[in-house]
A and B are shown apart, each in its own frame.
Chain A
Amino acid sequence: MDLGLNDDELVACVSCGLCLPHCPTFVVTGRDTESPRGRIALMRAVQNEGAPVTDDLIRSMETCVQCRGCETACPSAVPFGHLMEGTRAALAAEGRITPRWQRLALKGLRHRWLLMAGSTLLALAIRLRLVPTRRLGLPARMALRRPRLRTSGTDVWLFTGCVMDAWQRDVHLAVQRVLEAAGAGVEPTGGAAPCCGALHIHAGLESETKAMARQVMAGLSGDGRPILVDAAGCGAALKDYGHLLGTDEARAFSARVYDVHEWLAGRLGELQSQHPVDPLDVTVAVQDPCHLRHVQRAHQAVPEVLQPFVASVVALDDDGLCCGAGGAYSVMEADLSRAIRERKTAAVARSGASVVASANPGCSLHLAAAGLDVRHPLELVDQALSASRV
């Protein structure tokens, strides 16, 4: 089977093994089949040596969280994420991965009214205790109503996305207040850009992702406004449109995308001078979402932005190892996902922090389901700002 992978990218792995300690699935299983080096060797076996695509080989690919921690650990800069996306696209095209129900669910994310209505129903079902939230990794309580998104100006876009907007709109509102405090007029993207397609590309649905990328670009075209993203996974996906579509237009679009912390870090002076604050009396552990740390490589902005607004910010001592959320991974590979999460919760316990700051909705849901008090970093900043306003 031809996986359609770029041969130069594929042979760039020299099998040194320095990725192993940075791979969450290798760390919890100790198995070469669940390691980046092993997965690349299997891709090569299929593409270059004609090896058959066995069920076990597919398991090896499916168990990858796509955290891309291996990429930052790789001295030869092997583009593992692209290789894995390509492999999954080839497998999905043959119907070997991503079952029909999952494809259907992913399709739903593009239809905003469907998603919002479905989420309200889900929130109701959770209230009525009809849904085993713990087992499914869902929040124990979801809001039945969502406050309205409103536009305060046209300096920047705030990308609101799909599930996050339906389930965590409070976060968007807090982020917007912080941006406004920094002097920016904010327009939430809402229906103009329904979904970034990150979950779709992870599931190997390449052509669908491309269609969604074009839809998002069309919705936010027309001006060069920065597009700020408060979900690390979406930010990484938007920043990758240039590679995904390979057009100048897409590259120009991706260049407009910033993680919201990245953008705020450059304006921290303004924010602090206009709004003297009393820091919140909490010790916060910063959890680096993989798609912020390993893909966007912008994670250092989070503690920088957070620092002035809380008593103390502590870093976790686990080298940014993935928490196991991985978008739909926590549902599709629940056992592995939880085994990986245990290492993260242990790191949080070692840090002595009472609150965890996570800049990605997937991670925050996953960690909250383990009983941690998880907030978006800018929710804390917003809380500190509003406390001092009173």
Chain B
Amino acid sequence: MVRVVARTLAEATRRVLGSRRRTGRGPAAAEPAQAGDAALAADLEAAIGADRVRSDAAARYLASRDASIYREGNAGPVCYPDSTADVVACVQVAARHGRAVSPRGAGTGLAGGAAPLGRPVVLSMTRMDKLLEIDVDNGVAWVQPGIVNLDLTRALAPHGVHYAPDPSSQAACTIGGNVANNSGGPHCLAYGVTSAHVLAVEVVLSDGSVVTLGDLSAEPVGYDLRGAFVGSEGMCGIATAVAVRLTPDPPAVRTMLLCFDDVSDAAATVSAIIADGIVPAAIEMMDQRCVRAVEDFAQAGYPEDAAAVLLVEVDGPAGGVSIASERIAGIARRYQAMSVRTAADEDERARLWKGRKSAFGAVANVMPDYYLHDTVVPRTRLVEVLESIYEIVDRYDLIVLNVFHAGDGNLHPILAYDSRVPGADERVHAAGREIITMSLDMGGALTGEHGIGVEKREHMSRMFSEVDLDQQARLRASFDPYCRMNPGKVLPSAHSCSDIAALRASDASGVWG
């Protein structure tokens, strides 16, 4: 039944688009992709206001991309909703036109998750950036999805609480994007990833209905639909309000920089710290190339002669913090640390973190493009994995900057290259595939926190069986039977048949520029 409806809608759209494209004229004729959108854009404008819909080439071009190197996205009209009601209206208009909807936060994603496929209506959530309600006593705040992660934490600061997940892009990325990707961050080692900090989500489903998944009680009853929604990469619906857990600020924090002249010593130190029973708030590792790329910008005093550095943070009651940091210093020295430095004040601590969190952005100091995976490997095999990465990269004559959440084995080998050099793209992708295969062979997982998006879609079958993937497709279909929400992501093409129909329904060619 559903499929019949979808097919009918698809056929109708194709006809409408086809006829309109032929009769296009004026500026629209020069930009074929725009022509078929005129009626759709007009309806969207009528629904939420002309000043909040953009269907010009420049706006659509920019809404077609995120921070990854994926460039095949193709946005339809771009809407800037202000409220849940606006989102509902946009979803309904899109449905009437048989078009899909792709939500977008700050576009800092690294896997093409926000790249719109099949010219959907793009909902840019940046204007829904309000902190709706703070309940410090119960440790919860309702926020709109477009609020920037760091802005939320800053707004909470006077209350002595913060929002714990802190992706490296936290200065720019939005909570909505964090929910979509179940994002992590350095401090997720001790505090857990986004799903542990989202209590409930208000969601607009593909038929325009609004539901609240999860609730604020300590022991929610029924299936954990909130859990299914967090990390669904926009394919189950659009979050329009999020209840986030507030984490009390720790009474004491100590941030240490451990420097090593051998990468394996650094990796071994990580395992030894955890084996010692200490759970630091964060353990981050950067190799030499990465340190050199960030130090110019951050001026944090990272030693550029160290082969690897560990940034370790411990927090909690002052007594515990000081004992733990002494033990960590002892372990580091046992593994031949060149130096052990403790941040003297908040300013030094901030600069150390600034360096770590600007690693991706600093790559252009080395090369103008980068390709990134974020596989997770067992911590005990870090040394082996790193050696393999360096070996693979050497073989493909590439440059790698390693920066990662060492505490939970979440790698981020940044393959830096210049896409203007012929053949570079192919080499980078081939090396990426080998890194994934190697990580999975070592007992790892495909992605830690960046999501699957389109970038890693085809690698899903290396990790999941056909049965697994079919079940995932069915879960998705139970939220969005029409496959209209951010279609074409996560599931390999063979497992999202109705997505394919949705994508084919609209013209994928004729992008401006």
Contact = CB atoms under 8 A, between A and B. Distances in A.
Nearest to B56: A56
A33 interface: yes
Contacts of B358: 18, 75
Interface stretch (B121-129, B189-197, B306-314, B389-397): B121-129
B59 interface: yes
Interface string B38-58: 000000000000000010111
B361 A75 contact: yes
Contact of B370 (A14, A17, A54): A14
Contacts of B80: 30-31
B58 A60 contact: yes
Contact of A54 (B57, B127, B173): B57
B29 interface: no
8 contacts: A12-B368, A50-B513, A51-B57, A51-B513, A54-B58, A56-B57, A56-B58, A75-B360
B362 interface: yes
Contacts of B126: 30-31
A57 interface: yes
Contacts of A76: 297, 361-365
B172 interface: yes
A32 B107 contact: yes
Given A45-B513, A57-B58, A75-B297, A18 B368 contact: no
A17 B365 contact: no
A22 to B, nearest CB: 9
B169 interface: yes
Interface in A1-53: 8, 11-21, 30-33, 37-38, 41-42, 45-46, 49-52
Given A8-B368, A13-B364, 17 more contacts: A11-B364, A16-B67, A16-B360, A17-B106, A17-B107, A20-B106, A21-B150, A21-B171, A31-B80, A31-B124, A32-B107, A45-B513, A54-B512, A56-B56, A56-B58, A75-B359, A78-B364
B365 A77 contact: yes
Interface of B: 27, 30, 54, 56-59, 61-63, 65-67, 80, 106-108, 124, 126-127, 129, 146, 148, 150-151, 169, 171-173, 293-294, 296-298, 358-365, 368-370, 418, 420, 512-513
A56 B53 CA distance: 13
Chain A interface bracket (under 10, 10 to 19, 20 to 34, 35 or more)? 35 or more
A11 B58 contact: no
Does more than half of chain B's interface fall in helix, strand or loop, or is it mixed?
A: mixed
B59 A31 contact: yes
Contacts of A11: 364, 368-369, 418, 420
Interface string A297-340: 00000000000000000000000000000000000000000000
Contacts of B369: 11, 14
A258 to B, nearest CB: 22
- Sort A-B residue pairs by CB-CB distance and give the 6 closest, nearest first: A30-B126, A51-B513, A76-B364, A75-B361, A16-B361, A75-B358
Contacts of B418: 11
B61 A45 contact: yes
A74 interface: yes
Contacts of A49: 513
A18 B172 CA distance: 6
Contact of B172 (A12, A21, A50): A21
B58 A14 contact: no
Contacts of A42: 58, 61-62
